[in-house]
Chain A
Amino acid sequence: MPRIVRLSDVWRMLDHCLPGYEAVEKPHRWNVRFNGRVYHRIPLGPHGARHNPETETGHIRGLVNFFGIPKSCYEQFLDLR
């Protein structure tokens, strides 16, 4: 089973670690923009577009590496192991 994280925790992490980012909602997925760069298609998890939805942890591992967010910052909010 894929590991999951709550998107609300992802947004809290980005608020702190990547200030100025923009989360763009699309049907069943999100894009994250920052400084003209885009991380594409973070899908909603198995429970879909409910309150406080989830996504698979690997997508967020990809995101933090893409934007160069240091582990010392994101690990205050998320366990991405």
Chain B
Amino acid sequence: MTAETDLAIGTKLPIIFSYRDALFGNNFVVEVHARNGRALCAREEDGFWMYGVNPGGMSARGDDIESAHAAFRQMFSDILKDLATDASGLDEFRTLVRTFFDDTNVGFEPEWLEAVRAIRNHEINPGTDIPRGSADAPRDITVEIKRIFKAEDNEADLQPALAA
């Protein structure tokens, strides 16, 4: 994703993202794979803010789109670690993760949908080379017990996309 700071204040971009995290909990090692989460990237007076839509209970800031996404990505992983710490076992962790991911930010969801419409109608020029992804792609999160460990697991960050 290319940093782009020329966007007008008030511009909002609809982002979808897929992340993969491997982490330790209390008596378990798991891989969490979030697919097609939603976030609203807003250019505001004090920088770029990434507001989670699903998961809705988180936000992060950066000086440009790229750093805002990096901060959002890191916060997502940190929240999963918090949930792993809070959970007494795997079943409770799965429940906490799904609750976190499925909880919608109802205040920002209409703005995310409006931003998708604007992107589709070419009313917003994001001015970046962010790849496009389907805004209608199914959203899901899975928690799988990790039994096989590979070096590729270290490359868990997946590219965000502009929802269109």
Residue ranges of A at the interface with B (Cβ–Cβ < 8 Å): 1-3, 26, 37-41, 56-59, 61-62, 64-66, 68, 81
| B18 touches A (CB below 8 Å) | no
| B103: A residues at CB distance < 8 A | 37-38
Q: Mark B30-73, 1 if CB is under 8 A from A, else 0.
A: 00000000000000111101011000111101000000000000
Q: Does B105 contact A (CB under 8 A)?
A: yes
Contact-residue size bin, chain B (C-beta under 8 Å from the other chain): 20 to 34
- Give chain B's interface residues, CB within 8 Å of chain A: 44-47, 49, 51-52, 56-59, 61, 75, 78-79, 82, 100, 103, 105-108
- Which of B57, B61, B78 interacts with A39 by CB under 8 Å? B57
Residues of A within 8 A of B59 (CB): 58-59, 61-62
| Nearest neighbor of B44 in chain A, beta-carbon distance | A58
Beyond A2-B61, A26-B82, is A65–B46 a contact (Cβ under 8 Å)? no
Provide the bound-state CA to CA distance between A26 and B58, in Å: 15
**Chain B residues closer than 8 Å to A37, beta-carbon distance:** 57, 103
Question: How far, in Å, is A63 (CB) from chain B's closest CB?
Answer: 8
Complex alpha-carbon distance, A39 and B57, angstroms? 4
Dominant secondary structure at the A interface: mixed
Seed contacts A58-B59, A61-B59; 12 additional CB < 8 Å A-B pairs:
A3-B45, A26-B82, A38-B103, A40-B57, A40-B79, A40-B100, A62-B49, A62-B59, A62-B105, A62-B108, A66-B56, A66-B105
